[in-house]
Structure 1
Amino acid sequence: MSTSRSVRNLMGPADPAAGVTPGTEAAERGLERILRDAPVPALRRAPARAAFRSRPAVAALAVAAVVSGAVAVWPGATPVAFAATPPPLAYHLAAEDSRRGAAAELEEIARRVETLPESPGGERSHLRWRQWALWTRTDSGGSFSKVVPEEFDLVRSPEGARLRRFLLDDGPGSATEQTADATLQGPVPVTADGLRAWLRSRTPGIDGPLGASQAVHDLVTQRVLSPRQRAALLRLLADLPEVAVTGEVVDRAGRPGVAFSADSAAGGLPTRYTFIVDPVSGQLLGQEETLTESAGKLNVPVPSVIEYDAYLVSQDTP
């Protein structure tokens, strides 16, 4: 089975480039040969996050990847082709939600969530998430970009924590395991102010959209949150500057949610940071980062989704 067909079968509906027409059979064979034989270049991800974000170098001379729907780009080729990025999600914003605003909407969800019964907990916790990110290499020949879809599975127990990771491009056979050291220590606070101060010790920029995005990702990929802790997280998001209701949405895992967004250029390019919330449970379903005005040296059109996370499992187990 060709690499491209194998990956499309693995990715299924979560394929970030679903619907992109693949190249010819000859192009696929050529790409597979390049990816197999080429020297490993240095790739730069834009932007980067901290926790559980170590990535191996990806062997690719020409950044292309029919496997994920990207367009082949060889050094010196003209015109320059864009790397494929996921289509934007479809947001549906009701007029009353727009008038009421994000702070009121998030507070309403938080009040409902904090009354939910606490789970009995357990000695083990299970977290699983999928992420897609754009990597870019820039040299004298230009900028070349590649998409890197990954899945992570983290199990914590009294014996320790094991993180299983595999590249969706390469399938379960690429899985690796490592000991997962927690970067967030102590109990998670149950108030917005307490949570903000606790996260600030690791992410000083917590008060802005970029820092909040990084800190929230670290939190939900390390801890299973109780209803009160989820409510605190929602109130923290409500305090972001100029946060707005983006609208109702079906996320990339097929789940309904409500999206909230805030814009910032703190990462170097004007970017919209979107948080998708389950309005019933208060769980964070996912995050999205979208370039809104300029791509800089990144080899993508504008607007473009340059990263997303889908949080699939978050539970305590006996």
Structure 2
Amino acid sequence: MFGAERTRNLLGPVDPARSVSVAPPPVSARELIDRAGGTEMVAGRRRVRPSRRLVLTAGTLAVAAGAVAVLQPFDGPAPDAPGGPGNSAGLVLVPVAYQFDADPPEAGPQLRALADKIKDAEYDHRGGRYMYHHTKLWGDPVMTSADGRHHVAFASESKLWQAADGTGNQIRTQLEPQYPDQESRDYWQRESIGRPAATGTPAPAVTPLSPEELRPLSADPSELRERLKVEYGAGAASKWVGTLYGQYVVPRATRAAVLRVLADVPGFRWRGQVTDRAGRNGVAVTFDDREHDQQSLLIFDPKTGELLAHELLTLSPVRISSYEVILDVAWTNQPG
């Protein structure tokens, strides 16, 4: 079991909050369990990033009976019906299909070629006070059965307006439960038998953002290498690319520089043409971290070089651990 101090020790210098006092989570473990059991709750007010895994530690107890839970660090469509895993069937997630599945080539040459040919994005010709991001995420947190085999999490949709001083608004909507495999879906549906159905879906949570100074973006390779933590390898770089694109409206010069920086990081493999979870055409690279049984996936727009999606998968067996899809990025003068 991980605690906060052990987690920080493991992260070391790559922990972005190592000098910050972290307040207790605004959404309790019990509230998360109640949501999964079909009880209507108000969505938590927090910024969303793949970070935690919820583990049931009292066996396969009925959620309504109050199962004990602990939070551990997590290394990953509109709702059809209200309720938790048993009251709304939810989706079984399928890994993205790669053009080059077996023996993929090194990604460096392809990433450099992509950097050389990318075009302007629509927002490159516009401006505004706020950076707008519309994203969909699954995997924060994941609820896991006591035996560690069966997993479920609620997808969430986030719309974020943030100014250079950190202020703005976030609107987060909880969506349907999703599962990494059919066995998990079947398990959570069995566990929900006899539980009361929810009376409605949680309302969107509107969160004002507190001031924080956002470091301006640069296309300087040395600065980008530091931002993306490439000294810690391709796994860390994948994570921080996702963070960069999830927070900033990245201009063309910086997009090209990011691709060139990643091209020099050992371990990335070229997966060729893919289709992301929003149905968009992209090109993909992956990094296999065999030590941690994990694969990082980055999907880029082949025309503009924008990041479309970032995913984490387990390798044995292959299944989704988390995903974030960046649906829209823009400049605007009005916060939502």
On whether the aligned pair clears a TM of 0.5, the verdict is yes
Please state if 1:152 is matched with 2:158.
Answer: yes
Cα distance in 1 between the residues matched to 2:171 and 2:65:
27
| Counterpart for residue 241 of structure 1 | 266
| Alpha-carbon spacing, 1:218–1:90, altered in 2? closer, same or farther (3 Å) | same
Displacement of 1:209 in angstroms is 2.6
Per the TM alignment, residue 103 of structure 1 is displaced from its structure 2 partner at its CA by 1.1
Aligned counterpart, 1:195: 224
Deviations 1:94-115 (A, max 9, x none): 99x956x411111111112277
1:311 equivalent to 2:326? Answer yes
Q: CA 1:164–1:115 in 2, change beyond 3 Å: closer, same or farther?
A: closer
Letter in 2 for 1:120: R
Counterpart in the other structure of 2:305:
282
Q: Sequence identity, in percent?
A: 25
Structure 2 contact 156–172 (Cα < 8 Å) conserved: yes
In the TM superposition, what is the alpha-carbon distance from 1:123 to its structure 2 partner? Answer: 1.5
CA contact (8 A) 2:234 2:267 kept: no
1:190 Cα deviation from its structure 2 partner: 0.6
Return 5+ residue gaps in structure 1 as ranges. Answer: 5-33, 49-59, 71-83, 294-301
For normalisation by structure 1, the TM-score amounts to 0.65
Check conservation: 1:244, 1:261, Cα contact below 8 A.
yes
State the 1:181 CA deviation: 4.8
Q: Distance in 2 between matches of 1:243 and 1:164?
A: 34
Tell me the CA shift for residue 197 of structure 1.
Answer: 1.6
Q: 1:107 to 1:42 in 2, by over 3 A?
A: same
Q: Check conservation: 2:309, 2:324, Cα contact below 8 A.
A: yes
**2 CA distance for matches of 1:242 and 1:279?**
21
Change (3 A) 1:68 1:311: farther
Contact 2:271–2:285 under 8 Å retained in 1 = yes
| Alpha-carbon separation, structure 1, partners of 2:213 and 2:241 | 11
After superposing the two structures, state which structure 1 stretch, 216-225 or 157-166, moved more.
Answer: 157-166
Structure 2 portions without partners, runs of 5+: 1-35, 38-61, 77-82, 178-199
Amino acid at match of 1:106: L
Post-superposition CA distance 1:241-296 (Å, at most 9, x none): 2211112111000000001111114xx62211110011101110001211113xxx
Task: List aligned pairs for 1:122-201, cutoff 5 A.
Answer: 122-133=128-139, 135-137=142-144, 141-143=146-148, 145-157=151-163, 160-169=167-176, 173-181=202-210, 185-200=214-229
Q: Which whole-Å CA distance do the structure 1 matches of 2:89 and 2:162 have between them?
A: 35
Q: Number of matched residues?
A: 244
Instruction: Describe how 1:1-318 pairs up with structure 2 within 5 A.
Output: 38-39=66-67, 41-44=69-72, 46-47=74-75, 65-66=85-86, 69=89, 86-93=93-100, 101-113=106-118, 118-133=124-139, 135-137=142-144, 141-143=146-148, 145-157=151-163, 160-169=167-176, 173-181=202-210, 185-200=214-229, 207-265=232-290, 269-293=292-316, 302-318=317-333
RMSD over aligned Cα, in angstroms?
3.6
Q: Which stretch shifts more, 35-44 or 277-286?
A: 35-44
User: In structure 1, what is the Cα distance between the partners aligned to 2:307 and 2:164?
Assistant: 26
Cα distance in 2 between the residues matched to 1:90 and 1:231 = 25
Q: Secondary structure at the match of 1:218?
A: helix
**TM-score normalised according to structure 2 size:** 0.62
Greater mean deviation of Cα atoms: 153-162 or 245-254: 153-162
| Displacement after TM superposition at 1:35 (Å) | 5.5
Name the CA shift for 1:168/1:40 in 2 (closer, same or farther; >3 Å).
Answer: farther
Per the TM alignment, residue 229 of structure 1 is displaced from its structure 2 partner at its CA by: 1.2
- Is the CA contact 1:272–1:290 (under 8 Å) kept in the aligned structure 2? yes
Q: Per-residue displacement from partner, 1:197-251 (whole Å, max 9, x unpaired)?
A: 2344xxxx66423211221222111111000111122122222222111121110
